[in-house]
Amino acid sequence: MAHHRKLVAGGLLGYFALSDAEAARPYVLAVSAPSLLYIAVADLIPELHRHWRLPEAAAQLALIAAGVATPVLLHSH
């Protein structure tokens, strides 16, 4: 029973704490959506986990950054 009270209290705390953060929502989504897609693709392509080299890691990081930057740039214009 105490566990349920903690869940409700945490939910209410999160609701009220994040109600003022609505302006940040597009930016949070712009970061979290490409990250989720990367995780999904990385699980579908196991080669990304087996062979780790600096050029490939740099390319992946650049593509992730481009994925995050695209919606932000499109939103600002």
pLDDT digits (tens, 9 = 90+) for 5-16: 888 998 888 888
Q: Length of the chain, please?
A: 77
pTM for the full predicted model: 0.42
Residue closest to 71 by CA, chosen among 37, 22, 21: 37
Instruction: Read off the pLDDT of residues 15-64 as tens digits, 9 standing for 90 and up.
Output: 888 877 888 888 888 778 877 877 777 777 776 667 678 888 788 788 87
